[in-house]
Structure 1
């Protein structure tokens, strides 16, 4: 069973003061720390540490991109 994290806990993993860079999508939280595209917690106009579900419609890719990353928890 995956641990549940609050939005506040997710916000702490934004890449600015911790090594962890996390993003949520569709209720799951992904560790995107290994992606060169998420350096410093920013990916184009998107920021880590938040739920990106509603922002995916603006992306040039589908949600299949999340399959590359480890799921670390659920957004509660």
Structure 2
């Protein structure tokens, strides 16, 4: 199976709203956070699904990359 590649515009569609799943990109990898209760409605502590949140995770998250463990990977973010 081919890995899906998302542009930022395509990723923005997966914002957890109107029945859409909630995806976030971190360091070029796109994760599905839909099943996480903290991401219900596509929002988590002011962060929105459908975006590249690398800077937020690296610079502001007290949890670091360990929060990514176990999240389903759905593809890669296209380099633009």
Larger helix proportion, structure 1 or 2? Answer: 1
Q: Which runs of 4+ in 1 moved over 4 A?
A: none
**3-state SS of 1:73 partner:** strand
**What is the deviation of 1:17?**
2.0
| 2:51 matches 1:53 | no
Unaligned 5+ residue runs, structure 1?
Answer: none
* TM-score, with structure 1 as normaliser: 0.93
Cα RMSD of the aligned pairs, angstroms, is 1.0
* TM-score, with structure 2 as normaliser: 0.89
Q: Which residue of 1 aligns with 2:32?
A: 31
Unaligned 5+ residue runs, structure 2?
Answer: none
Count of residues in Structure 1 that have an aligned counterpart in Structure 2: 76
